[in-house]
Chain A
Amino acid sequence: MADLRSNFVGIKSPNPFWLASAPPTDKEYNVRRAFEAGWGGVVWKTLGEDPPVVNVSSRYGSLNYNGTRMIGLNNIELISDRPLATNIAEIKDVKRDYPDRAVVVSLMVPCEEESWKAILPIVEDTGADGIELNFGCPHGMSERNMGAAVGQVPEYVEMVTRWCKQNTRMPVIVKLTPNITNILMPAHAALRGGADAVSLINTIQSVIGVDLDRMVPMPVVGGKGTHGGYCGPAVKPIALRMIGDIARDPELCGIPISGIGGISTWRDAAEFLAMGSSTLQVCTAAMHYGFRIVDDMIDGLSAWMDEKGYATLEDVTGRAIPNFVPWNKLNLKFRTIANIDQEACVRCGLCYIACEDTSHQSISKSLVGNERRYEIIEEECVGCNLCAHVCPVDDCITMQPQPVDGELTWPEHPNNPNRVVAAVS
């Protein structure tokens, strides 16, 4: 049985599944239910200074695709809209009752040292295990020079992180915004400021859709809409890339990463671990189905680790990073060719039309008796994988790697005007 216990910069939890700072961790009631359901930890919804913010009514917008609800979710909710004292009292109670779980508190106060100095001891007094700096909120708070407004300026990230490190003994996790061009810039800044860890990604600035009858971006608040923060399964690829960028960066010295971004299943979790995460934060999937989803996440991850022979989380964390390389390091001599399993083929023609219209015309169509037959024209196939992706039947179209004769990357390629000339021996 795989050991799923996690020790993340000294913050211990029985499993790596934490609920991200968001509506599911807004108050004691929810958090107790989450812990009863088996979650390893929570990042309490962001606390700010009193008086509390005011949230709008009509807060979420959903992206549905082909019958699947909420493949993406956007929200225009702000940080906790409850008095600081209420949150603090509840955090204290919960931590007391669940000493084995991770309770991290997300914070966002104005970009002034006094504000941070004031709130840190109050939080520390709850017995919380750590703090997460919300430098990511992309709406509402950023317009008040907080959240993403800080996260987008590396100097501010560094500065606030340093204030926190200087004023608390709690571990400091810096939550990064993806609304930047290069995630390494704020990550480096966090490290310079003394961050113990980073967590990412926060939500992505988005307009989820437009109400075409009222001509208003959604969600609609009294006839108007605003941009929100995008999350859910659809953002997973963006998160994996940014996490991988940080995990493989030599200057970041393996800074611990708490992965966030559309994690919905144990398989997603395993991928986030493989790309360098040590803990996993979940929100949208819980908002979609309730806290019970953690059962299968724990169970599935554990079973998969057993099957692969990984004993602990550390065995998985960053496992794919050595193979996550810049494009220039890919072997241009590698070739893969599609193969259609004629027994499994249902003759829908989707591979054919995709290849014919939008790829390399490397699938032929013929009639054998009354039966359609689609075949790969191997000489034409560039191995793009498109046919395999559009095929509705699992394992019907498979990509067959061909024998490789040596290695040739772009820096050495004859077509590269700036190629590195091989040294003459």
Chain B
Amino acid sequence: MTRTPDIASSRLSDAELVVNFSDAHPPLTKEQAVVEAERCFFCYDAPCTEACPTGIDIPKFIRAIATGNMKGSARTILESNILGGSCARVCPTEILCEEKCVHNAREEGHPIRIGALQRHATDWQMDHGGQPFTRAPETGRRIAIVGAGPAGLACAHRLAMHGHDVMLIDAHAQPGGLNEYGVAAYKLADDFAQREVDFLMKIGGISFEGNRKLGQDFSLTELRRDYDAVFLSMGLAGVRAMGIEGEALDGVQDAVTFIEALRSRDKKAVPVGRQVVVIGGGNTAVDAAVQARRLGADDVTLVYRRGHEQMSATSSEREWAQTNGVTVRLWSSPSRMVTEDGVLAGVEFSRGKATADGRATYDPKDTFIVPADMVLKAVGQLFVTDPISGESILVENGRIVVDRSYRTTMEGVYAGGDCTVGEDLTVAAVRDGRDAAEAMHLALSTPDQSETSGQ
């Protein structure tokens, strides 16, 4: 019996695709926002604020919504986090601010909807107020930023605010990084990533150059020569390989490539299998699995090698996948791709369990096969060191090493976001970019450049 891989585009109509890729969580109405804001206790020294990597004064912005001071609310968010709009949409709030909300102590699972309120306020600002910050007088200093994702954008905005000129360079055609290319479309619907970039750029003093790759189109040494400082925020350009038989077969694809195609092309033109297996346990795996379903796949199975406690996707992400008809299978490690007549037909997994010391063990004899005509790999992303390999930048454990002022080992070169050590979260990248900008600004404003590392 011969099989042909059943991977095709246009499985659904335009109308179905519009519905499937529209805003997953519609915004609060004004009335809903006020009711929710008034539920907030306005805690002192609030745990939610402590849990936010960018340290947004959450009770303050929520109280401003309750009092109808929308401008003040948005400003409170944006002065800590200029990408507050996308963070409101993509942050795993259930493991950050909302997890710490004291309302959970009274009624588990009913924290204040901080993310939704943050979206309400930032949407208001973008709809009514425009750019709320003004630039300081121009300093004449020029700073290059490599990578126009959340870290790079936050850094650019803060530097521009301080009066510096910023050149933002990215390998992609558009700025936005993961927000533009790496997150499920329904999380940042209606072209939000680009609208947010436009909003942010209105501060002035930021130029963008796309389709330019570090180490290929220009070098770090050149940047160092032409600019007063450099910020590296290239994120993770590589994907981890599984190292199993059949990984190169047609139909086996990186989940990030699949997601990027969905974000940069007409959705109708993106091919998807009828039976899709997604391997991995992070947000990328969930985003790929759910979008495969929403693109028209009949069966999508997300398989993760360990238990849900170890998944980096949060429980609400996992539930989101399940309510979208994705089957989640845990404690299963991929052992090989299964073919029929040389064509991808499924993935074989070994069943596993946790040992007493918490490690995972798999039984190579206890296997099962999940049929698949498309396999999406989401087993982790890697920092690609090639573009900086010839430079004096220390890389350890696959990430750029920086000090507390975000300085790399190369003089005048700073780094932040996913290419450095730390949680790989949009909101953490924003903090890095913002704080690195402050560090650069301090260094550039200090006549004596001899200050030591650390603060």
Contact = CB atoms under 8 A, between A and B. Distances in A.
B44 A352 contact: yes
Contacts of B42: 350
B64 to A, nearest CB: 14
A392 to B, nearest CB: 5
B260 interface: no
Interface string B95-113: 0000000110110000000
Taking each of A67, A347, A348, A392, which has the highest tally of chain B beta carbons within 10 Å of its own beta carbon? A348
Contact of B102 (A67, A348, A352): A348
Interface in B385-413: none
Contacts of A67: 34-35, 38-39
A368 to B, nearest CB: 14
Interface in B81-137: 102-103, 105-106
B35 A348 contact: no
Nearest to A393: B106
B246 interface: no
Contacts, number: 37
Nearest to A391: B41
A66 interface: yes
Nearest to B35: A67
A346 B105 contact: yes
A347 B102 contact: yes
A348 B38 contact: no
B219 to A, nearest CB: 45
Nearest to B34: A67
Interface residues on B, range: 10 to 19
Nearest to B102: A346
A353 B59 CA distance: 14
Nearest to A349: B44
Contacts of A393: 106
A137 to B, nearest CB: 34
Nearest to A357: B44
B252 interface: no
A329 interface: no
Contacts of A365: 45
Contacts of A347: 43, 47, 102, 105
B106 A372 contact: no
Contacts of A349: 43-46
Interface in B225-256: none
A350 B106 contact: no
Nearest to B45: A349
A350 B38 contact: no
Interface in A369-401: 372, 392-393
Nearest to A351: B44
Interface string B17-61: 000000000000000001100110111111100000000000000
Given A347-B105, A348-B102, A353 B35 contact: no
Nearest to A353: B44
Identify the interface centre among A346, A350, A392: most chain B CB within 10 Å of its CB.
A346
A372 B50 CA distance: 12
Contacts of A350: 41-44
Contacts of A392: 41
A244 B328 CA distance: 68
A386 to B, nearest CB: 14
B66 interface: yes
Interface in A386-418: 392-393
B383 to A, nearest CB: 31
Contacts of B102: 346-348
Contacts of B41: 346, 348, 350, 392
21 contacts: A66-B38, A66-B66, A67-B34, A67-B35, A67-B38, A346-B102, A346-B106, A347-B43, A348-B41, A348-B46, A348-B102, A349-B45, A350-B41, A350-B43, A350-B44, A352-B45, A353-B44, A353-B45, A372-B47, A392-B41, A393-B106
Interface of B: 34-35, 38-39, 41-47, 66, 102-103, 105-106
Given A66-B66, A346-B103, A365-B45, 11 more contacts: A66-B38, A67-B35, A67-B38, A346-B41, A346-B106, A348-B102, A349-B43, A349-B46, A350-B42, A352-B45, A353-B44
Q: Which 3 residue pairs spanning A and B have beta carbons closest together?
A: A349-B44, A353-B44, A346-B105
